[in-house]
Each structure stands twice: as C-alpha cells, then as structure tokens.
C-alpha cells in the first residue's frame, strides 16, 4: 500500500492558486464529469481525449502542482496497462485494445489525482453532506480520515518495538508478529472508538 497522500497539503508558496480556492463541489462535479465522460466516449473521438488532456495539463500548471510525485503516481498505473496489453495480445483483435485502455485510464487517473491535489478531503465531505449523503457514511468517512494517520503510526510503532526484540527473524515469526500487531491495533481502535464516543457525548452529542 502506498504512503500517505503526497498531495495532502496545499502548496505553501504565497497566495494559494485560484484552483485551490475554487469551491469543492464545483471541482468534484467537473472531475466526475471528465472521468465519466472519458470512460464512456468512443476511443475514436480523439478530440475529446486531446481536449481533456490539455485541460488537465493546464490545471497542473496553474495549480503549481509538483511534477515528480505526479509522474511517479501515474507510473503506478503501468502494471495495469501491461496487464491489459497482455490480455489483449492473448485474446486477439476483438476488444478495445490496450492502447485505448491505457489512454482512458491515464486521463481518468490524472483527473482524480488533480482533484486530490487541489481539494481538501474535509471540503469534499462537506459537499457530500450537502447532497444528502447519509450522515452515518459521512461521519464514518470523516472519522476514518482523522484517525488514519494515528492508527498507521501506532501500527508502525508496534512493529518497531517488536523488531527491537526480535533477534532471529524468520518468515513464520514475522507473520505471527504482524498478525498480533494488527490484532492489537484493532483492540486499540475499538477502545479509542469508545473513548471518542465519550468525548462526543461530553460535548452534547447523542
């Protein structure tokens, strides 16, 4: 699994670019429209793909997004392209062909990466709340986002503490230990969930 999102923080250089300050709902809507459109239009409509690519690259430039992490993340997509190419080769001329898949997939991926880079997750949650997504789901998303880093830090600390006392590493022992670490992580998460409920109740939630 990859590291924490590279794009978690907006660029701190001076005034935040216009894109970052645009309303989250608008950005979400545009991103979804672009992705959905790109996924369904026929591959032969090259003008669509070219226009979308141009728009995305403009946004990258205007929003001052760093190239390198973006490019690195796009490369993650290559195994899928390779898989599609292999499948295409095996199944013959019928089917959309790996190039189409690669093009569409990359454009949609870039769209979502840019959305993540220019919009904070909390802003997206507010949008979800406004469009009447059930409160339980929004709360779950919010709490997950809030405690994600905490829990992964806890998991890392537990792993490190165990590693300090592991003198003869073996695969079997690593599996047992990792299983225990995840188990303890769940117990801690449940206990913390209980305490969070108390803290919410203490401030009037019911």
Among 26, 96, 130, 166, binds other proteins (CB under 8 A): 96
The answer to whether the beta carbons of residues 53 and 100 sit under 8 Å apart is no
Among 15, 75, 94, 131, binds other proteins (CB under 8 A): 94
Smallest distance from the beta carbon of 185 to other proteins, in angstroms? 6
Cα distances (angstroms) measured from residue 80 to each of 1, 53, 93, 158: 16, 20, 19, 33
Question: Of 39, 133, 58, which Cα lies nearest the Cα of 124?
Answer: 133
Q: Give me 170's structure tokens.
A: 């073996």
Give me the 182-201 binding string for other proteins, x by CB under 8 A, dash otherwise: xxxxxx-xx-xxxxxxxxxx
Q: Which is nearer to other proteins, 91 or 165 (CB)?
A: 91
Cα distances (angstroms) measured from residue 108 to each of 23, 53, 112: 21, 10, 6
Smallest distance from the beta carbon of 100 to other proteins, in angstroms? 8
Q: Is 64 in the site for other proteins (CB under 8 A)?
A: no
Q: Give me 113's structure tokens.
A: 């990466």
Cα distances (angstroms) measured from residue 107 to each of 28, 113, 136, 170: 16, 10, 32, 43
Give me the 104-143 binding string for other proteins, x by CB under 8 A, dash otherwise: xxx-xx--xx-xx----xx-xx--------x-xx-xxxxx
| Cβ count near 20 (within 10 Å) | 18
Smallest distance from the beta carbon of 184 to other proteins, in angstroms? 7
Give me the 13-52 binding string for other proteins, x by CB under 8 A, dash otherwise: ------------------xx--xx-xxx------------
Among 13, 14, 93, 167, binds other proteins (CB under 8 A): 93
Q: Give me 92's structure tokens.
A: 């013959």
């Amino acid at each position: 699994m990859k590291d924490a999102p590279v794009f978690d923080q907006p660029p701190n250089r001076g005034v935040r670019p216009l894109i970052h300050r645009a309303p989250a709902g608008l950005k979400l809507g545009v991103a979804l429209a672009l992705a959905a459109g790109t996924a369904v239009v026929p591959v032969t409509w090259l003008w669509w793909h070219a226009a979308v690519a141009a728009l995305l690259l403009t946004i990258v430039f205007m929003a001052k997004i760093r190239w390198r992490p973006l490019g690195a993340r796009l490369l993650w997509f290559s195994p899928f392209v390779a898989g599609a190419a292999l499948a295409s080769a095996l199944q013959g001329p019928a089917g959309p062909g790996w190039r189409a898949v690669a093009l569409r997939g990359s454009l949609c991926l870039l769209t979502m990466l840019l959305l993540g880079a220019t919009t904070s997750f909390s802003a997206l949650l507010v949008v979800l709340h406004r469009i009447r997504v059930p409160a339980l789901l929004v709360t779950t998303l919010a709490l997950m986002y809030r405690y994600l880093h905490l829990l992964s830090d806890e998991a890392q600390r537990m792993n490190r503490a165990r590693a300090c006392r592991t003198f003869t590493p073996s695969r079997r022992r690593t599996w047992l230990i990792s299983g225990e670490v995840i188990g303890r992580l769940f117990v801690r998460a449940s206990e913390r969930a209980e305490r969070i409920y108390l803290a919410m109740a203490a401030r009037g939630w019911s």
